[in-house]
Amino acid sequence: MGQPITVLGTTVLGEVVLIDTDRSITGQDGSTYQSPDEATDDFPGRLAARIFDQIDRVTHVFVASNQVVVGRDGGWDEAALRTASAVVTEFFVFYEDQEAAEA
């Protein structure tokens, strides 16, 4: 259930990565999270919580419309970029396949 989000591109600017997607996750105002404790129980907060949980050294997450901006102490390596893209891509996917949905 749920469709994957397509990551259209990532842009690394020092310790920040901008992840552009094919759909909106929030409204135009956006939401900022400086720690996992600040993550709320709405869609951008849940996405931020997953990012904090799965990628080490994350300093902040900002989600606005179809873009996710993530700061990471020490910059971005290929493994961290792949993980960030995967977290965003799989965010709306609730079941991996039909068998899992029926279980």
CATH (domain of 14): 3.30.1370.70
Domain count, the chain: 1
Which DSSP letter does residue 63 get? E
Q: Can you give the pLDDT at residue 101?
A: 47
* β-strands 31-33, 58-64 pairing: antiparallel
The answer to whether the predicted template modeling score (pTM) of the entire model surpasses 0.85 is yes
Position 96 scores a pLDDT of 58
Q: Closest by alpha carbon to 57, among 21, 12, 19, 16?
A: 16
- Specify if 55 maps to a domain: yes
Of residues 27 and 42, more confidently modeled: 42
pLDDT-derived band at 97, boundaries 50, 70, 90:
low
Whether 16 is in a domain gets the answer yes
